[in-house]
Structure 1
Amino acid sequence: MGLNIADIDPKMLDELLAKGFITQEQIDSLRKDSMGKNKSTEKEKKSATKGNFHNRQGFGHPNGNYRQTSSKQLPYGEALDLSPEVLPPMIATAPYNFIPLPKAVLVSQLQIYLDKKEELAAEKEDPVSAAFRTYMAEKANLNGHIELAIETITPVFIGGGENDKFFAPGGKPIIPGSSLRGMVKNLYKIVTCGSWKSEEDLKNTHLYYRCLMAPKSKMPFFAKLHEKYADYMTSMENGHVKKNAKPGFLFKQGNKWHIYSLLPNKLRSIPIWKYMYDFKLNDRDIKHSSVRWDGHTAYVQIGLLSTDKLKRSQEKLEKATTAERAGWGKQYYKYMSIDDIDTSKRYPIPDSVIESYQGDKNRCGVDLMKEVRKKNFKIKDKNGFIAPCFFFLDDAGNVKSFGHGQSYRIPYDNSIMEAVPQQVHYSKDKIDFASAVFGISRKDVSWASRVTFDDAVPLQKVETLKSAESRILMQPNPTAFQLYLKQNQKDQLVHWDHPAAEVRGYKFYWHNKPNHNWHATAKELELSRDNVFKGKAPLARKIEPLAPGTKFEGSIHFHDLTKEELGALMLIFKLGKKNEDIVYKIGMGKSIGLGSIRIKATLFLEDGSRYKTLFDNDGWHESQQEEAPDEYIAAYEALVKAGTGSLTESYYEAVENLRLMLDYNNTKMAGWDKATAQMDGDTKDRYREDKRFEKRNILPEAAGVIDKVRNRKA
């Protein structure tokens, strides 16, 4: 399938021409091909082949690699997809990637004792306590601590200090034990093939989407999602497309939200040109969605990106055929009056729907929850705040979804947690290693952690970098399913309602060099100050991170661990193989290159003499002696290998991907910064400059990112 010049934005062609990605000769050749004139000579064909953007071999396949075969080699991460392939190529970049989820969960040895807790309990003894008592007597009897020697490799920032300074209670910067605990627990879950808990490992919400464009010609991979959206939002009636969403008014009384339905046939339309004339608006005024009131009448304004086709007179609109108007763009706005409310039909909105709506962080238009607070009217002898809306009902007569405009963002049917394989879901009957060691708190049972973390304190005078506004910290954006879901289908992008939807796994951030630029760009500073001007919080936060080379010491204390539990804990600090430089991530700003720390861990175990000897020749007797961790790591790996094949496979896959992502040697490769760069844009302020968001380019797996950099050096 070749490129059609008509499908390419002229501005994009000019940009590519200026950057040297394409020549004027290639543009002229594309134009000739599109017009079907002047068959190419053999020489022209060779020239066109030399300048092609994409080598088609494997280009559109999920496992295919992007290739650029022109004489000017493009660094990985700069190319844009310009062709309507079956699937977008894997050329998206991000400062993060994923450690795959396990195919099976490793059940803790504690579970054996919990399964028979009733028979282990003495008279009047708590069964769970009895299970733990027996477990520790027979299996879990290792006590000691792990000394941590920590060095910052890049700038590190942990918030909590005054004026956005590094966390420093009493004026002395420290790495809090809670930060170390969070980092270590996450790594422990990965190397022990742990389960995922709703609301702890993943916020279980329904994401929202809108898929209006008919994508068959330019984006065939969107066809199924478009059909799903169209089937939900529209239907055919007497040969015409009908919008299915019901009109009404969102209304709040006390703490409860409701929607009043509009009386039949009371939703009206106004030509946009007349709406602009009546409200004395210009093209800029209608670039964004809003609600405008005229007395009791509310006008539903939908933001328009292009306004050059709006100004059609009423006469032209009435005389034009449907086919003629199809190319004109949107020509009408809807409006409704509170005088037409059907007060006999008030539909309750479940709290879950309200929470889901409020959780839609990608909504760029009207937030109806905020809009409601702007207008107060008396309805049925009661005062209340109100806003026009459109909505759907479920089978029970409750509001299923609501939004601004007739084609609003709707929630996926499936929640995020439904994209986590069932075998990884937490089960109270299958306690994993992390729950056994780090503690658990449930309504029916709880136990304390057997590991505690000291704060890490500095070994030297701490130096901080000059305070500055940092790059905007992008929030997780799982609506970008091409980045967050496994893309393993040949003809369709997998979205959250796709039968094959599966989250990629644990999100980890790549390392960057110490001099990686974490300062806000001029564009980000402009956006941040605009936010402040609008009375909102600044987007770019001022921080004062620690300088690279700062050294700390901390420790992890443990009691009553089994050999295998201790082995898994030590494995975290012994991941590296020959020539690998394993470095960890901690604190805030991981996405902008901050937070890389190197840790050297030394194991000390109780030798059993703490209650026998108080003093020795050197003073206080030290009952904890340094030991090599190899025996304990080997014991843990033997336990894994004794499990199922899928469990063993999951373990090695997790460890291998951890080593890939934590190896600081990656930063030495040419082009690494571009390969792991955040694609500019995708904020609520519509700062969207990277076409790879629009094109839904796929994020390669961790190994794929590294391979692409190695094979395509800048």
Structure 2
Amino acid sequence: MNRPIQHRDSRANPSAQNAPHSKREFSKPNMNAIPRPAAALRGIQAPYNFVPLADWVYFPPWSASASHDLPFSDGISGTLEFTLHTESPLLVAHEQEVGEKRFIIAPDGRPMIPGSSLRGMIRNVLEIATFGKMHLIDDRHLGIRDLSGGMPAYAKAMTEKVGRAYRARAETGWLRFEQGVWKVYPCRHSRIEHDDLTALLGPDAGREFKDFVLGKLDDSQRSAQAKYRKWEELGGRPDIRFEPGPLRDHPHSRGNLLRYSKAAQIGHGRRKGRLVLTGQPSPRKHMEFLFYQTEQHPIEPSKDVMRGFLKIHEDSKDWEYWKQRHWQSGDAIPVFFIYEGGRIASLGLAQMFKLPYKLSIHDALRNSSEDHCEQGRLDFVETLFGCTQAEAQGRRGLKSRVSFGAAFSDDARFGDSVTVILNSPKPSYYPNYIRQATAANGMQLDPEAQGYTTLMDEFAELRGWKRYPSKPFHPPRCLQPSKVTSTLHPLKTGATFKGKLRFHNLKPEELGGLVWALTWNGDRNLVHQLGTGKPLGFGQVRLELDRVKLQANDPGLPTEPAGRVLQQCGLMFCATMEQACRDQEPGGWRNSHQITTLLAMADSSIGEGRHLNPMVLDHQTRRNDFVEAKKRENFYVLEDYEP
């Protein structure tokens, strides 16, 4: 939730961290200074939003005594048979398929929803509804590369003003692993134009290289490794003769000047340089690098610097490419580094490389509450669904007391296939994923903030539980197949699936919470989200209970009529949560921001008319809403999803 943040400086400027509040100079975003055309970006929109993350976790008092073997005196076992109704086209696809997404089919030919998919869907609802831990997330260390103006600390770290021009602070060198440690051999560098590279290849090969680099720019073309392989395939040599030009100012975009050395006399100069290619983020990039004059005395980066570098690049294709060449052929790895205070402060694989954030995902989670990473106590969902990893962590393990079986359909019909792009949201996009102090309109930063809060800030907190709000379904536009598209083969709306879940030794409150999550407490207007294509409106489903069989541990406790027993269990669940929230949430459990937002996201009538489409990123037209949103005249944030 974007509520006001007290006693916090939302900038990562070290000099400002300890400054008295009264002496800080705040830079207010000028919201109206720059006129915009009618079609200009008016705010951040996304197909997802967040249920606010609570700063406390509910640990049920019975969690320590929950067991498969020792019955609760008021425990109940039994089965719940249900029907799943599809309210929009549904696709629960084979995970291993790439490009073609087809529904899972059982051996008897019927469409099937695995029990694990149903379990995950219900578990997430219950984690939010019971103020549970947000612990099923990877403790990733992200990096940041941002020149949009939304994070001035990055520009300050990577560039410096020299007269009227800007100069990149990164120096260049060769990274080697020698005698058990990583070492960097510094070198000098000049920039080389793509046109000069294409001239070296000759007319036909040069045209092919340039078309590849500046073409449609799908993921296969953007990486440095793809450019290297294309260069080698077309006969390009790694070493190029040239003359390094003097450091001088060169025109750049938006009237800026950049100071660098530009290579001249390409192919016949006195110097010999090694060509270094880096990633191609957009068609505007028109230069690469020539490394030359390597020093013989290396610099040894600290273990912390190398640890940050390796964590940021662990999934990088370019790092994998260079790592293989280093181990197999002994090739040194070209790197860029910032040298400060007599040491390497950071390094990367491009001149404007990613800086490692100070905080990991779990660090930001702990800033909301240490309870989210608590390993010694089980929350409501862990107590109910089990926590089998606990034994590996040296604490008591607990098996799940709830088991979902697969659900099958006898009336499903396949609808029209559609080819779309399934983009994955990037958790590094801090205007959405990190809690911000907002202005009164809820769409922009608080004018008193110096910039966005990011994982560079020691107090940064995660925004909350990401979910896709339900909305009326409209068929998406079908695209031409390409390397970045997926063809979906969903079921038509109106299919029904029959399923069953079994439960063992549940307390009434637990059974009530399970039924509350399954049926949204009986509200037929609310839906769950399931399967592939949720950002496009696919996978909106509703559950209804059919048959219920209950057996109490105590023979004296009533189990009939089953509907009335479930109703009583539901009331006990709600009363338990209201009691738990009494001292934590001013409005109580049902009126808390968490519950009202969760329920609003399940209501398609609330989603109707909301801006739930992704923002535009189009390299061909050079439109980038993600960058535009972070400009100082905008400072947009994702607005809270409230009813």
For normalisation by structure 2, the TM-score amounts to 0.70
2:143 aligned residue: 208
- Alignment of 1:570 onto 2:499: no
Distance 2:259 2:502 in 1: 65
* Structure 2 segments unaligned to the other structure (5+ residues): 1-27, 215-221, 263-288, 439-445, 631-635
Match of 1:425 among 372, 386, 393: 372
Distance 1:96 1:488 in 2: 20
1:461 aligned residue: 411
Distance 2:302 2:154 in 1: 23
Q: How does 1:146-161 map to 2 (within 5 A)?
A: 146-160=80-94
Question: How much does 1:658 deviate?
Answer: 1.6
Match of 1:681 among 610, 617, 630: 617
SS at match of 2:617: coil
Q: How does 1:461-610 map to 2 (within 5 A)?
A: 461-469=411-419, 471-489=420-438, 490=446, 491=449, 492-514=451-473, 516-522=474-480, 525=481, 528=482, 538-575=483-520, 581-602=525-546, 604-607=548-551
SS at match of 1:194: coil
2:402 aligned residue: 451
Moved more, 346-355 or 181-190: 346-355
SS at match of 2:330: strand
Question: How much does 1:340 deviate?
Answer: 4.4
Deviation digits for residues 522-543 of structure 1 (CA, Å, limit 9, x no counterpart): 5xx4xx2xxxxxxxxx221122
Match of 2:52 among 78, 100, 103: 100
2:270 aligned residue: none
Residue type matched to 1:641 in 2? E
Match of 1:267 among 179, 188, 195: 188
1:46 aligned residue: none
Q: Is the 2:188–2:293 Cα contact (8 Å) retained in structure 1? A: no
> Do the aligned partners of residues 108 and 367 (structure 1) sit closer, same or farther apart at CA in structure 2, a change above 3 Å counting?
same
2:625 aligned residue: 691
Q: Is the 2:94–2:102 Cα contact (8 Å) retained in structure 1? A: yes
Match of 1:80 among 15, 38, 41: 41
Q: Is the 1:157–1:588 Cα contact (8 Å) retained in structure 2? A: yes
1:332 aligned residue: 261
Question: How much does 1:403 deviate?
Answer: 1.8
Distance 1:332 1:318 in 2: 5
Q: Is the 2:165–2:257 Cα contact (8 Å) retained in structure 1? A: no
2:576 aligned residue: 639
SS at match of 1:568: helix
Deviation digits for residues 563-592 of structure 1 (CA, Å, limit 9, x no counterpart): 1111211211343687x7111110111112
Distance 2:356 2:301 in 1: 22
1:629 aligned residue: 566
Q: How does 1:118-133 map to 2 (within 5 A)?
A: none
> Do the aligned partners of residues 145 and 519 (structure 1) sit closer, same or farther apart at CA in structure 2, a change above 3 Å counting?
farther
Q: Is the 1:193–1:651 Cα contact (8 Å) retained in structure 2? A: no
- Alignment of 1:659 onto 2:599: yes
Residue type matched to 1:585 in 2? Q
Q: Is the 1:102–1:424 Cα contact (8 Å) retained in structure 2? A: no
Match of 1:402 among 336, 347, 358: 347
Distance 1:320 1:544 in 2: 55
Residue type matched to 1:336 in 2? F
1:249 aligned residue: 174
For normalisation by structure 1, the TM-score amounts to 0.64
Distance 2:418 2:331 in 1: 42
Distance 2:63 2:378 in 1: 6
Deviation digits for residues 170-224 of structure 1 (CA, Å, limit 9, x no counterpart): 1221111111001011111111110122xx2x222122222346x4xxxxxx3xx
> Do the aligned partners of residues 237 and 547 (structure 1) sit closer, same or farther apart at CA in structure 2, a change above 3 Å counting?
closer
Q: Is the 1:166–1:544 Cα contact (8 Å) retained in structure 2? A: yes
1:356 aligned residue: 312
Q: Is the 1:582–1:659 Cα contact (8 Å) retained in structure 2? A: yes
SS at match of 1:102: coil
Question: How much does 1:241 deviate?
Answer: 7.9
Q: Which has the higher contact order (CA 8 A, sep 6+)?
A: 2
Q: Is the 1:419–1:496 Cα contact (8 Å) retained in structure 2? A: yes
SS at match of 2:453: coil
Q: How does 1:127-146 map to 2 (within 5 A)?
A: 136-139=71-74, 141-146=75-80
Distance 2:294 2:199 in 1: 21
Distance 1:679 1:639 in 2: 41
Residue type matched to 1:205 in 2? R
- Alignment of 1:386 onto 2:298: no
Residue type matched to 2:641 in 1? A
> Do the aligned partners of residues 695 and 625 (structure 1) sit closer, same or farther apart at CA in structure 2, a change above 3 Å counting?
closer
SS at match of 2:605: helix
Distance 2:89 2:345 in 1: 47
* Structure 1 segments unaligned to the other structure (5+ residues): 1-59, 82-90, 115-128, 216-221, 301-312, 361-365, 529-537, 613-621, 707-714
Q: Is the 1:248–1:259 Cα contact (8 Å) retained in structure 2? A: no
Question: How much does 1:426 deviate?
Answer: 2.7
> Do the aligned partners of residues 248 and 692 (structure 1) sit closer, same or farther apart at CA in structure 2, a change above 3 Å counting?
closer
Deviation digits for residues 400-423 of structure 1 (CA, Å, limit 9, x no counterpart): 753233332212111122222124
2:318 aligned residue: 367
Q: Is the 1:271–1:331 Cα contact (8 Å) retained in structure 2? A: no
Residue type matched to 1:142 in 2? I
Distance 1:299 1:686 in 2: 33
> Do the aligned partners of residues 446 and 376 (structure 1) sit closer, same or farther apart at CA in structure 2, a change above 3 Å counting?
closer
> Do the aligned partners of residues 249 and 607 (structure 1) sit closer, same or farther apart at CA in structure 2, a change above 3 Å counting?
same
- Alignment of 1:232 onto 2:193: no
2:281 aligned residue: none
Q: 1 or 2, which has the higher helix percentage?
A: 1
Distance 1:546 1:322 in 2: 55
Question: How much does 1:232 deviate?
Answer: 3.3
Between structure 1 and structure 2, the one with the greater Rg is 1
- Alignment of 1:178 onto 2:84: no
Q: Is the 2:309–2:356 Cα contact (8 Å) retained in structure 1? A: no
SS at match of 1:418: helix
> Do the aligned partners of residues 590 and 688 (structure 1) sit closer, same or farther apart at CA in structure 2, a change above 3 Å counting?
farther
Q: Is the 1:603–1:629 Cα contact (8 Å) retained in structure 2? A: no
1:303 aligned residue: none
1:165 aligned residue: 102
Moved more, 348-357 or 234-243: 234-243
2:129 aligned residue: 191
The two structures, once aligned, show a CA RMSD in angstroms of 4.6
Q: Size of the alignment, in residue pairs?
A: 535
2:277 aligned residue: none
SS at match of 1:566: helix
SS at match of 1:631: helix
